[in-house]
Amino acid sequence: MRRIILTLLVTLVITACATATVKTDYDHVLLGLLQSDFISKGPTKVERILKQDEVQKLCSAEHLNLSDATKLSMQNEQLKTVKFPSDGKYLGDWENGEKIAQNGRGLQSSDQIGAVNGGNCYACHQITKTEVSYGNIGPSLYNYIKSHGKDEKIFRNTWAKIYNSQAFTACSSMPRFGHSGILDEKQIKDVMALLLDPESPVNK
Amino acid sequence: MKCISKYIFALLVLHISTYTLAQSSSTDEIAKYRELLADGNPAEFWEVRGEELWKKKITPNNVSLEQCDLGKGSGVVKGAYVELPRYFSDVDKVMDLEQRLIQCRTMIQGLTYEQATAVPHGSAGKPSDIEALVAYITAESKGMKMAVSIKHPKEKDAYELGKKFFYYRAGSHDFACATCHSKDDQRIRLQQLSNLVNKTDAQKTYTTWPAYRVSQGEVRTMQHRIIDCTRQQRFPEPRYASDIVTSLIMFMAKNAEGGVYSAPALKR
């Protein structure tokens, strides 16, 4: 009797494995296609798109039904990556911040290696009142101080959000500007000033 | 001539509108501008040249593309595009229109792969035969309903791979196609983004490619469009007429099922 059960079990396992191998592993095939069909060009590298980090992997699912626990743990892990300004000063030059917010270039296959990257903030956000060509993927940042405040906590959180958006919203559409090396520390300070300097047109 | 003066007038209208109109009304203006040009789309010049190229016998094999099977039998152009991409048994592969054209130009007409893909994207003084052929062939499906099949296992594979790629986040900016194209009414700056997983929106978008692009002065194909998307996505560049792009086109074409085809269209 025991032998029969054992045989049955073994058969079941084998069948299960066989069915599993018959089903196409599209993730695997996709990786092969990415490798064969893409060419590194300018600052873009095929190796980089082949290797997804944890955030990219988890956020690539067709329907994002991640559990709250998974989201929370992702956010906490990402928050750990945030490097706050080395000299403790959060605000740079808002005028330069505006230029960074306007600049949509950088890290495209058509861009030069080592060129200054933009933040392209206007692609998704309303920021100043004078720029009417803005996108709507992210929330409006106009009147930032009025709507958010300007205490230490706001400074820290705004910095962290720009540095690594995934620290606050798992699978956010926003790039991780600091973490992914899109903007450097000085540039993030300038963008911070655009949002949080009382003299910036954002707050006028 | 009447067509050209109308064209210049429309450009002028657009030019003025960019300065004087704000947020909400500028998309309406672009729609008006499109309407103004609808009966004088410069893509017609590409269609005419494409038809000539299709029927022209060329060396070394001295045959025309009229022997090319786009899926509905040798030389059948009418309605071919609304069923592409599709599985072709002679090559045991799913191909989109551009891949199939390359196949015919090499296998039937005897061109080398390099010759057949010499100028995939044309520029001033350097026209693309592919863009002309694509304009002609797609125009022959005008008014027909999108009807791509995913019945063959390889068609199903292409669709599933295209879908996987659509949601695949990677690169410096963590972007997937889905980041910008899976929600309704999203905008980058003033540019409306189509929601390619919403049937109505997918139909509207898919059935209006290829298009004559005013900003480039050329007819651009779907392969070209996707290659430029991946550039903005901060991905490396797909090879021209690659399987990954065909898979994505398959996913989009299937999502657009039932949409009435109306390209070559006219876009900014």
Phi, psi of A174 (to 5 degrees): -75, 135
Find how far residue B171's CA is from the centre of its chain: 25
Q: Find chain B residues with C-beta within 8 A of A37's C-beta.
A: 238-239, 242-245
Beta bridge partners of B193: B186
Is residue B4's pLDDT more than 50?
no
Beta bridge partners of B265: B211
CA gap B97, B250 in Å, rounded: 11
pLDDT in tens, A155-181: 999 999 999 999 999 999 999 999 999
| Residues of B designated as active site | 229
Contacts of B186-192 with C-beta under 8 Å, sequence gap 24+, read B186/A135, B186/A136, B186/A137, B187/A135, B187/A136, B187/A137, B188/A123, B188/A124, B188/A135, B188/A137, B189/A122, B189/A123, B189/A133, B189/A134, B189/A135, B190/A133, B190/A135, B190/B23, B190/B26, B190/B27, B191/A135, B192/B27
> Which two structure tokens, joined as six digits, stand for A31?
């990786």
- For residue B37, name the pLDDT band (cuts at 50, 70, 90): low
Location of structure tokens 């980089």: A48
Mean model confidence pLDDT for chain B:
91
- Average pLDDT rounded to a whole number, residues A51-63: 92
pTM here? 0.89
| Residue A159 CB burial class (10 angstroms; 0-12, 13-18, ≥19) | buried
Best probe of the B interface among A25, A26, A41, A140, by most B CBs < 10 A, is A26
Location of structure tokens 């900014």: B268
CA gap A187, A112 in Å, rounded: 19
Note the pLDDT of residue B144: 98
- For residue A7, name the pLDDT band (cuts at 50, 70, 90): low
- For residue B120, name the pLDDT band (cuts at 50, 70, 90): very high
- For residue B34, name the pLDDT band (cuts at 50, 70, 90): low
Poorest-confidence range of A58-72, B3-17, B104-118, B245-259? B3-17
Out of A27, A36, A109, name the one closest to residue B231 (CB).
A109
Report the complex ipTM. Answer: 0.89
Q: Pairing mode, if any, of strands B191-193 and A38-39?
A: unpaired
| Residue closest to A177 by CA, chosen among A158, A196, A194, A199 | A158
Q: Does B83 touch chain A (CB under 8 A)?
A: no
Q: Is the peptide bond before B60 cis (omega within 30 degrees of 0)?
A: yes
- Average pLDDT rounded to a whole number, residues B83-110: 98
Is residue B20's pLDDT more than 60?
no
Out of B175, B191, B237, name the one closest to residue A41 (CB).
B237
3-state secondary structure of A95: helix
Q: At what angle are helices B243-255 and B199-206 packed, to 10 degrees?
A: 120
Q: Find chain B residues with C-beta within 8 A of A132's C-beta.
A: 22-23
- Average pLDDT rounded to a whole number, residues A27-55: 97
* Chain A residues 183-202 with a CB less than 8 Å from chain B: none
Note the pLDDT of residue A26: 96
| Residue B123 CB burial class (10 angstroms; 0-12, 13-18, ≥19) | exposed
Is residue A77's pLDDT more than 90?
yes
